[in-house]
Chains A and B, each alone.
Chain A
Amino acid sequence: ETGVTQSPTHLIKTRGQQVTLRCSSQSGHNTVSWYQQALGQGPQFIFQYYREEENGRGNFPPRFSGLQFPNYSSELNVNALELDDSALYLCATSLFGVSNYGYTFGSGTRLTVV
């Protein structure tokens, strides 16, 4: 059972709307990374947060933004939703500077944009 919790599990939004996805970090993990996984593809890195600041970003437009809170939980916000934003959004937590243990993933939020 994962120590990372994501909410909601499923979501349907209309094109042009805004969405906020949430992630609570596994105990002791201070870094949160967000990934987008389209059907049939590998997860694509969106960005990472450490010490409440963005610490690296993938090839995603500015309408994808995030926050990290003092308790290490995090939010992913997407504005002006497009149909192609339909995907599984995964939150992954880790301990900064310790890359040899990999990530712990949440169960994901499945977003459908119609």
Chain B
Amino acid sequence: RKEVEQDPGPFNVPEGATVAFNCTYSNSASQSFFWYRQDCRKEPKLLMSVYSSGNEDGRFTAQLNRASQYISLLIRDSKLSDSATYLCVVNYGQNFVFGPGTRLSVLP
């Protein structure tokens, strides 16, 4: 099993849609979880951390299920500017492991 796996995508959704991305990880000892956003030919940028109780930042909601080793990201009311690749990131000790990413295209 790969360390971090994500929905393969791509996701093509109309503006205003709600879209959810899933991520699973293999290390039960992992303590830190993040979603990063990466625009084409740019570096990844931190979108949000994922907390055990779940957390929300505007249109974005992240959830963590430790028992199932599963993380999700929900985007409501999608905007054209949300088009990007979304990377799930999990710590393995002092290092962070990235998933392969899920590409989102929001269409007008």
B89 x A102 contact (CB < 8 A): yes
Mark interface residues in A73-114 (1 if CB within 8 Å of B CB, else 0).
Answer: 000000000000000101010001101111111111010000
B46 x A102 contact (CB < 8 A): yes
* CB of B53 closer than 8 Å to a CB of A: no
Q: Is the interface of B mostly helix, strand, loop or mixed?
A: strand
* CB of A72 closer than 8 Å to a CB of B: no
A99 x B31 contact (CB < 8 A): yes
Mark interface residues in B79-95 (1 if CB within 8 Å of A CB, else 0).
Answer: 00000000101010111
B99 x A42 contact (CB < 8 A): yes
Contacts of B99 in A (CB 8 A): 42
Task: Indicate which residue in A41, A58, A96 contacts B100 across the interface (CB closer than 8 Å).
Answer: A41
Contacts of B75 in A (CB 8 A): none
**A side interface size, CB within 8 A:** 30
A105 to B42, CA, bound (A): 10
* CB of A48 closer than 8 Å to a CB of B: yes
Contacts of A107 in B (CB 8 A): 42-43
B44 x A105 contact (CB < 8 A): yes
Contacts of B45 in A (CB 8 A): 105
Q: How far is the CB of B54 from chain A (nearest CB, A)?
A: 16
Q: Which of A2, A35, A50, A103 lies at the interface centre, i.e. has the most chain B CB atoms within 10 A of its CB?
A: A103
Q: Which of B34, B91, B93, B94 lies at the interface centre, i.e. has the most chain A CB atoms within 10 A of its CB?
A: B94
> Which residues in A have some Cβ–Cβ distance to B below 8 Å?
2, 31, 33, 35, 41-45, 48, 50, 55-56, 58, 88, 90, 92, 96-97, 99-108, 110
> Which residues in B have some Cβ–Cβ distance to A below 8 Å?
4, 31-32, 34, 36, 41-46, 49, 87, 89, 91, 93-101
Beyond the given pairs A92-B96, A100-B32, A102-B46, 7 more chain A to chain B contacts, judged by CB atoms under 8 angstroms and listed by A's residue number, are A43-B44, A43-B87, A56-B95, A97-B94, A102-B49, A103-B96, A104-B46
A-B contact pairs, 21 of them (CB 8 A): A2-B43, A33-B96, A41-B100, A42-B99, A42-B101, A45-B96, A45-B98, A48-B94, A56-B93, A56-B94, A90-B43, A90-B44, A99-B94, A99-B96, A100-B32, A102-B36, A102-B49, A105-B43, A105-B44, A106-B43, A108-B43
